[in-house]
Amino acid sequence: MLVISACLTGVACRYDGKDQLRIDLKKLVDDGEAIAVCPEELGGLPTPRTPAEKQGLFYKTQTGQDVTQEYKLGAKRAYDLAKSLGEINKAILKSKSPMCGVDQIYDGSFSGKLRHGDGEFSRLLKEKGIEVEARN
């Protein structure tokens, strides 16, 4: 089973209510070769929503709201959903996202600067031994 960030498949679920459509990834979902998930929505966050970034051990919005529980719940629900459909072999996730970023995420200052690190869902998948790839 291949797991893909839903925004990369044309689902308008990004924080700004838009998508980041990649036709090749949408085709994989359309052909039944992959599942699209939005862990942030699965965690109960609305779309659109105030941007959030990781600050230390917490996920906080630009207005200071702590959304750590929503991020942790969303990552777990996305993993559980994908796992219920079969063994997860790989994930292709939205780069730089505090939920899906792989190896590089925004630094928590809301300035557009990046730092080394993984988003919550990416971290969980890596912890489970699943290969994770970032895509813009």
Q: How confident is the model at residue 62 (pLDDT cuts 50, 70, 90)?
A: very high
C-alpha closest to that of 69 among 39, 114, 111: 39
pLDDT digits over 76-131, tens only?
A: 999 999 999 999 999 999 999 999 999 999 999 999 999 999 999 999 999 999 99
- Kindly report the pTM of this predicted structure: 0.96
Q: What is the pLDDT of residue 10?
A: 98
Beta partners for residue 58, in sequence order: 55
How confident is the model at residue 30, as a pLDDT? 98
Question: Mind listing the pLDDT tens digit for each residue in 6-36?
Answer: 999 999 999 999 999 999 999 999 999 999 9
Averaged pLDDT for residues 31-60? 98
Handedness of CA 134, 36, 75, 89 (dihedral sign): negative
pLDDT given at position 13: 98
Q: Closest Cα partner for 116 from 72, 54, 63?
A: 54
Q: Which domain range does residue 109 map to? A: 2-135
Q: What angle do CA 67, 43, 103 make, to 5 degrees?
A: 70
How many structural domains are present in the chain?
1
The pLDDT of residue 20: 98
